[in-house]
A and B are shown apart, each in its own frame.
Chain A
Amino acid sequence: MSIRIDKPRCIGCGACTNACPGGLLIMQEKKAHMRSLRDCWGCTACMKVCPAEAITYFLGADVGGRGSQMTLAREGVIYRWKIQSPGGARSEILIDRRNSNKY
């Protein structure tokens, strides 16, 4: 799995480049650029700091991915995860960051 930068959506703030634990994201022509898709750990740190919902998370085909993807919108204390399955069906899961894990 890895991430893709939605270049038209990217506002060029650079927040994701400081969040990547592998230093894999850099700025290139005023947009975020992922240097190596295969080196992504899948931690989603970049998505959590992106103010523009411009980072898409997907599963590689080698771990069972068939085209579904997720984006993340921050709304105050809420993380709104938007999931799109290969057939186009959309769903959302809201996580309240003030709550601890149930398990």
Chain B
Amino acid sequence: MIQAEKIETDILIVGGGTAGCYAAAKLAALSLRVLVAEKANIERSGCLAAGVNALNAYIAPGHRPEDYVEYARKDGEGIVRDDLLLTIAQNVNRITEELEALGLVILKDEEGRYVTRGWRNVKINGENIKPLLAKAARQNKNATVLNYVNIIDLKTVEEGTEKRVAGAWGFSTREKIFYDINAKAVILATGGAAGLYRPNNPGFSRHKMWYSPFNTGAGFAMGLRAGAELTTLENRFVALRCKDTIAPTGTIAQGVGAKQVNARGEVYETKYGLSTPERIYGTVEENRAGRGPCYLHTKGIGEEKEADLIRAYLNMAPAQTLKWVEQGGPDSRDVEIEGTEPYIVGGHTASGFWVSTKRETTLPGLFAAGDVAGGAPQKYVTGALVEGEIAAGAAAEYAKDVLLPESDEEETRRHIAQVEAHYASEGPLRAEELEEAMQKIMDEYAGGLHTDYRYNEARLAVARERIEVLQEAARSLPAEDPFELLHVYELKERLTVCRALIEHLAARQETRWHIFGENADYPERSTDFDCYINSRLENGEIKTLRRPLVKGGTYEHTH
């Protein structure tokens, strides 16, 4: 029998990663009770577990925040939110200084100025960035960190004609404890979604992927169920990586000037362009034409540069270092490259919650920050921190005027019964099997590696039908302990995200971005789709809608 605990707080932060920890830290200035619910442990959880090798959103002297907005708009082919990007761009330099004050090592010149790479990037030693952010969160004396608690649903209350978010339910991933949390406001900082598609390495090394394999898109799924609106999920993200190890390629390309070459040794990158999707598109096209494998041409860089690369990768992708030690370093052989499977990640593309400039979702009382928040691509770490700060301020302001809800015992019992049904179930299917089935369907029918990222309406129709079948099967999955229960819920969240993603892919009847959204029925870009594709869950169905582009100024929901 599962034990139930009730908790009351002013602000609940779901997810103690980059944005969540910073939101908790920023709330220290106010005398509000803060609760951070994290399914692992905030010390290293989230995208920054391994660290980060540069801060990719920083504006060098001589450039303005508006330049950053322009760059991100161009990179996103116009499907971005200027208002969100501008609030990020105006604050990333201050946030960078705050990170240094927390203890982050940032490279400086003799005059004490940050050394930049290009005009939007500073060099750091970021392997310990997450422990620094976790420490900042814990220093908020009014904040309680609830590690090893997985939030499964948002609590809503109806007041007159308005529905607002007023807490959440969750369970311990270590013990048979269920949590019923009442809050005045909730900040979702659960990150994006990995593991929807069959990964590059589907076997033993299935989690050797670019994005955190522990980010399941739970926030998207919970938000949809509560009634919030999502945007631009069809703008998937795919990274160009070193084959097998999924280690970064930018460090080699920029660090030692290595060019992309095909199996014949021909430099092909100039033929397709140098943006991330163009680099992957070129690699896919060369492979399709029978000119693969494709490589970064490093052979002959010399022993000194090889040693530098081996050291550099040890800090950010040790698998690559080990591979070089095993099979010969980059001076002796070129480095094979490949595109990853697609991810949904608001820090890189515009996918995520449809938010106001204050990062409030379409549901009052629910705020979003970081990779779970949409409209602001290229936000990276510093942008996620800015969003954590903005969401914290807006949630605190909102919490001033609302009361804690009455506990909804019936809904709590319903959620506990659902958890207990998984403990009581005897199968026969397991979460792991359904996860593989889901990844196979998405890979083959929703534009994964299997089809070189291409999809069409006929394939998406198959994906839609089969994902719905899996959703039905997932209702009776068995769980023997809290760890298995976590996997059951993670799978269910991913299936919900897949359903929304399929509708987004189908709704954008054009090809706006190579690789990220390669619609084979509509291979050209169309001005008819100079708009956002948004979605909501209504009566069990994902409904998509179009919204006109927001240019400049600020944006407030009209609800």
On A, residues with C-beta under 8 Å from B are 1-2, 17-23, 26, 35, 37-45, 48, 57-66, 68-70, 81, 83, 85-86, 91, 93, 95, 97-103
Say yes or no: B325 contacts A100, CB within 8 Å.
Answer: no
Q: Does any Cβ of A come within 8 Å of B322's Cβ?
A: yes
Q: CB < 8 Å: which of B106, B209, B212 contacts A21?
A: B212
With the chains together, A26 CA to B147 CA distance in Å? 14
Q: A41-B207, A59-B319 are in contact. Are A85 and B326 (CB under 8 A)?
A: yes
* A66–B40 alpha-carbon span in the complex (Å): 31
In contact, B213 and A39 (Cβ under 8 angstroms): yes
- C-alpha gap A62/B319 in the complex (Å): 12
Q: Does B39 touch A at the CB level, under 8 Å? A: yes
CB–CB A99/B208 < 8 A: no
Q: Which of B50, B147, B214, B326 contacts A86 (CB 8 A)?
A: B326
**A-B contacts, 12 listed (Cβ < 8 Å):** A1-B322, A23-B486, A37-B204, A41-B49, A63-B208, A68-B326, A81-B314, A101-B126, A101-B315, A102-B308, A103-B123, A103-B251
Task: Tell me which residues from 205 to 241 in chain B have a Cβ below 8 Å from any Cβ of chain A.
Answer: 205-209, 212-214
> A60 and B205: CB pair below 8 A?
yes
User: Judging by beta carbons under 8 Å apart, are B53 and A101 in contact?
Assistant: yes
Residues of the A chain whose Cβ atoms lie less than 8 Å from the Cβ of B301:
none
C-beta contact mask, B119-159 vs A, less than 8 Å → 1, else 0? Answer: 00001111110100000000000000001100000000000
A98 with B105: in contact, given A41-B213, A48-B127, A59-B322 (CB under 8 Å)? yes
Docked complex Cα distance between A86 and B204 (Å):
19
Residue B272 interfacial (CB < 8 Å): no
Contacting pair A1 B105 (CB below 8 A)? no
Residue from the list B46, B245, B254 in contact with A103, Cβ < 8 A: B254
Is B244 in contact with A63, judged by CB distance below 8 angstroms? yes
* B310 close to chain A: CB less than 8 A: yes
Residues of A contacting B319 in the complex (Cβ-Cβ under 8 angstroms):
1, 42, 59, 63
Taking a contact as CB atoms under 8 Å apart, the answer to whether B125 and A101 are in contact is yes
| Identity of the chain A residue whose Cβ is nearest the Cβ of B482 in the assembled complex | A23
Return A73 CB to nearest CB of chain B, in Å: 13
Q: Mark B86-112, 1 if CB is under 8 A from A, else 0.
A: 000000000000000000011100000
Q: Are B44 and A83 in contact (CB under 8 A)?
A: no
Cβ contact within 8 Å between A101 and B322: no
A interface footprint on B52-85 (CB within 8 Å = 1, 0 otherwise): 0110000000000000000000000000000000
| Cβ of B323 under 8 Å from chain A | yes
Number of A-B contacts (CB under 8 A): 171
Q: Is A41's CB under 8 angstroms from B208's CB?
A: yes
When distances are taken between beta carbons in the complex, the residues of chain B under 8 Å from A39 are 206-207, 213
B residues with CB within 8 A of A: 39-41, 43-46, 49-50, 53-54, 105-107, 115, 123-128, 130, 147-148, 173-174, 201, 203-209, 212-214, 244-245, 251, 254-255, 308-312, 314-316, 318-319, 321-323, 325-327, 483, 486
Chain B residues within an 8 Å CB radius of A91: 325
B49: which A residues are within 8 A, CB to CB?
21, 41, 43, 45
Choose one: A1, A66, A81; the contact of B208 (CB below 8 Å).
Answer: A1
Chain A residues near B174: list those with CB within 8 A. Answer: 23, 26
Q: Which B residues lie within 8 Å of A103 (CB)?
A: 53, 123, 251, 254-255, 308-309, 312
Residues of B within 8 A of A37 (CB): 204
**Shortest 5 CB-CB contacts between residues of A and residues of B:** A103-B255, A43-B50, A21-B49, A100-B107, A63-B244
Which residues of B have CB within 8 Å of A57? Answer: 318, 322
Residue of B nearest to A72 (CB): B318
* Highest count of chain A CB atoms <10 Å: which of B245, B310, B311, B325: B325
Let me know if A99 and B105 touch, CB within 8 A.
Answer: yes
Q: In the complex the two chains form, is B125's CB within 8 Å of A100's CB?
A: yes
Tell me whether A18 and B322 are in contact in the complex, defined as CB-CB below 8 angstroms, given that A100-B125, A101-B312 are known contacts. Answer: no
Q: A93 to chain B: closest CB distance in Å?
A: 6
Not counting A60-B205, A103-B312, a sample of 14 additional A-B residue pairs whose C-beta atoms are within 8 angstroms of each other reads: A21-B45, A38-B205, A38-B206, A42-B208, A43-B50, A59-B322, A70-B321, A81-B318, A93-B310, A100-B105, A100-B107, A100-B124, A101-B123, A103-B123
List, in ascending order, chain B residues with CB within 8 A of A21's CB.
40-41, 44-46, 49, 212, 214
Give every chain A residue within 8 A of B325 (Cβ-Cβ): 68, 83, 85, 91
If the complex has contacts A20-B40, A41-B212, are A101 and B204 also in contact, measured as CB distance less than 8 A? no
Q: Which residues of A contact B212 (CB under 8 A)?
A: 21, 41
State whether A59 touches B315 (Cβ < 8 A): no
- Chain A's closest residue to B313 (CB) is A103
- Report the separation of the CA atoms of residues A69 and B125 in the bound assembly, to the nearest whole angstrom: 24
What's the least CB distance linking B512 to chain A, in Å? 31
Instruction: State whether A101 and B44 are in contact (beta carbons under 8 Å apart), knowing that A41-B207, A42-B319 are contacts in the complex.
Output: no
Question: What are the residues of chain A within 8 A of B321 when measuring CB–CB?
Answer: 70, 81, 83, 93
Given the complex, which residues of A lie within 8 Å of B209, measured CB to CB?
41
